[in-house]
């Protein structure tokens, strides 16, 4: 029984009101209310003694016969979820700061998104899924312009669309390998007979030993090429063959930054020097580096703009491409549409990959990254135009409602509240960090993190971890200061509970 009188009282609603919502009659509006007319509750509401509750458990026991459900937190009720609140199968209303692993951009049942979902154009793309590389719709160019090109990273004028973050990275790696081979061949894709035959046996020179350099604790996906660059956790990689590609150290900064500025600068210099050494000495040649602006799955690890600026210089000096993986950081949460904008690079990255909040995946690139011959970087669907229409609606919302700016402001407000709490409750957490609402802190142990995430969920706030001990904030761009206030109240309550339990006076 984790719920207590305090949290019940703080709900500001009667028990009967909560039961009403659990049975589908959440105020305002009856059960027949259209999803687009739902209204966000003022605060979370937890009506079961545990999460997952009985209805979630019933749904999962059925699902468990067909799929692995061991990572499931609860079963969602997406007809009722609204704005920043996710509703589960038992009618619990949780302020969602995890957002489907950082992939909900503008709120559940967003009216503009529902409108896009119900358009005749959407019905057509759902019923008539084209092979976009062979028979694109006559409108596909226009969709690309509106969905992707309005927010393109500076200097990258083309976009390769695909299904998810992992294959977005792999397609970028393939482009890098083809570019690398072409330049080494003197700017030609005229293949030798030996290349043509050896490649069918998966051996050089046709299938060359060339590498993508990634960074300690980086995460770039789970398909075989992407997984070879993922370095966050052993459990993702064990028993799976991997390319013998190298890894460079990523800075391990200390917080607060102003206190450790010298140490952190030295740490970044050490990592840059080691990266340079690997680019110079690695026995397998390196075609590209891949790096996240914030290592997300690996524990919300940051580096300074200076680090990335110097890294860009190093890639230029060593003639390797730079791929920036913005799968999790892209689409505004860091306070700029793309996180790498904050580095103010002199020359843009060669490729920028995206997915998650964009709801479709792909990579931006220059024309140089297009192979001389067709069908080399290709697949049947090249993404999904239905999801691209959702991307277009999302980009509309983000730009029209100035949600990137909102994330910047709301994030600063949230951070300003977290920092003093980190001092007051130092036995529980520290190292508050990040930009915009793309924030995180470290718990003092993995066990405490588990306890904290559980207590927060029972207080009505759904959060996720990253790395070994970090808690990451991955709210929607629609988060407001009012939501932050709701969060802080509950967070303080949980911190007090943890102190009472572990460090009673």
Count other C-beta atoms under 10 Å from residue 25's C-beta: 15
Give me the count of residues in the chain: 505
Least distance between a copy of itself and beta carbon 36 (Å): 9
Would residue 442 show up in a list of annotated catalytic residues for this protein? no
Tell me if 245 sits within 8 A of 229, measured CB to CB: yes
Token pair of 452 as six digits:
């904290």
Q: Are strands 429-435 and 361-365 parallel, antiparallel or unpaired?
A: unpaired
Catalytic site residue from 325, 350, 384, 442: 325
Task: Report the side by side order of strands in the sheet with 461-462.
Answer: 85-87, 93-96, 461-462
Residue 394's nearest CA partner among 232, 151, 231 is: 151
Least distance between a copy of itself and beta carbon 114 (Å): 5
Q: Which is nearer to a copy of itself, 68 or 281 (CB)?
A: 68
DSSP assignment letter at 45: B
Catalytic site residue from 74, 160, 215, 219: 219
Catalytic site residue from 380, 402, 450, 501: 380
Would residue 491 show up in a list of annotated catalytic residues for this protein? no
Least distance between a copy of itself and beta carbon 357 (Å): 10
* Alpha-carbon distances, residue 51 vs 89, 94, 332, 343, 450 (angstroms): 10, 11, 31, 41, 14
Q: Which is nearer to a copy of itself, 278 or 432 (CB)?
A: 278
Instruction: Find tokens 């691209």 and name the residue.
Output: 388
Q: Which is nearer to a copy of itself, 311 or 476 (CB)?
A: 476
**Cα separation of 59 and 73, whole Å?**
12
Task: Report the side by side order of strands in the sheet with 438-443.
Answer: 429-435, 438-443, 470-472, 464-466
Instruction: Find tokens 């709120």 and name the residue.
Output: 107
Catalytic site residue from 356, 357, 415, 497: 356
Name residues whose C-beta falls within 8 Å of residue 472's C-beta, 6 or more positions apart in sequence.
102, 296, 300, 439, 440, 463, 464, 465, 466
Tell me if 168 sits within 8 A of 327, measured CB to CB: yes
CA torsion sign for 64, 66, 67, 68 is positive
Q: Which is nearer to a copy of itself, 70 or 505 (CB)?
A: 70
Least distance between a copy of itself and beta carbon 149 (Å): 7
Least distance between a copy of itself and beta carbon 500 (Å): 30
Q: Which is nearer to a copy of itself, 27 or 203 (CB)?
A: 203
Least distance between a copy of itself and beta carbon 58 (Å): 9
Would residue 353 show up in a list of annotated catalytic residues for this protein? no
Q: Which is nearer to a copy of itself, 393 or 486 (CB)?
A: 393
Count other C-beta atoms under 10 Å from residue 62's C-beta: 11
Q: Which is nearer to a copy of itself, 166 or 430 (CB)?
A: 166
Least distance between a copy of itself and beta carbon 370 (Å): 5
Would residue 380 show up in a list of annotated catalytic residues for this protein? yes
What residues act catalytically? 219, 325, 356, 380
């Amino acid at each position: 029984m984790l719920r207590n009188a305090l949290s019940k009282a703080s709900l500001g609603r009667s028990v009967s009101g909560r039961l009403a919502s659990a049975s589908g009659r959440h105020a305002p509006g009856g059960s027949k209310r259209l999803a687009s007319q739902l209204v966000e509750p003022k605060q979370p509401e937890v009506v079961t003694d545990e999460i997952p509750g009985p209805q979630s458990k019933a749904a999962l026991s059925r699902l468990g016969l067909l799929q692995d459900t061991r990572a499931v937190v609860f079963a969602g009720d997406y007809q009722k979820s609204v704005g920043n609140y996710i509703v589960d199968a038992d009618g619990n209303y949780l302020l969602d700061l995890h957002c489907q692993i950082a992939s909900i951009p503008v709120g559940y049942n967003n009216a503009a998104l529902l409108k896009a979902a119900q358009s005749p154009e959407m019905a057509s793309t759902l019923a008539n899924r084209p092979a976009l590389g062979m028979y694109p719709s006559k409108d596909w160019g226009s969709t690309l312009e509106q969905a992707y090109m309005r927010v393109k990273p500076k200097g990258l004028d083309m976009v390769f669309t695909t299904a998810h973050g992992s294959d977005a990275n792999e397609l970028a790696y393939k482009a890098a390998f083809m570019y690398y081979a072409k330049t080494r061949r003197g700017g030609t894709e005229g293949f030798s007979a030996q290349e043509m035959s050896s490649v069918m046996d998966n051996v050089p020179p046709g299938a060359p030993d060339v590498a993508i350099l990634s960074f300690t604790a980086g995460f770039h996906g789970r398909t075989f090429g992407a997984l070879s660059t993922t370095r966050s956790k052993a459990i993702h990689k064990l028993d799976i063959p991997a390319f013998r590609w190298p890894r460079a150290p990523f800075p391990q900064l200390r917080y607060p930054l102003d206190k450790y500025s010298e140490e952190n600068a030295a740490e970044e210099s050490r990592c840059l020097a080691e990266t340079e050494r690997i680019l110079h000495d690695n026995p397998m040649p390196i075609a590209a580096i891949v790096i996240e602006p914030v290592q997300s799955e690996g524990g919300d690890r940051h580096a300074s703009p200076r680090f990335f600026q110097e890294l860009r210089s190093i890639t230029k000096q060593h003639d390797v491409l730079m791929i920036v993986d913005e799968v999790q950081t892209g689409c505004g949460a860091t306070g700029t549409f793309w996180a790498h904008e904050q580095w103010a690079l002199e020359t843009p990255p060669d490729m920028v990959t995206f997915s998650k909040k964009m709801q479709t995946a792909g990579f931006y690139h220059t024309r140089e990254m297009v192979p001389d011959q067709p069908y080399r970087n290709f697949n049947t669907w090249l993404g999904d135009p239905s999801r691209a229409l959702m991307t277009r609606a999302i980009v509309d919302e983000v730009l029209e409602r100035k949600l990137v700016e909102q994330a910047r402001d709301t994030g600063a407000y949230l951070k300003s509240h977290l920092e003093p709490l980190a001092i007051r409750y130092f036995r529980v957490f520290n190292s508050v960090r990040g930009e915009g609402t793309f924030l995180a802190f470290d718990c003092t142990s993995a066990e405490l993190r588990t306890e904290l995430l559980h207590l927060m969920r029972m207080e009505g706030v759904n959060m996720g971890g990253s790395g070994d001990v970090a808690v990451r904030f991955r709210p929607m761009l629609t988060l407001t200061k009012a939501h932050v206030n709701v969060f802080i109240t509950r967070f303080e309550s949980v911190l007090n509970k943890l102190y009472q339990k572990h460090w009673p006076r």
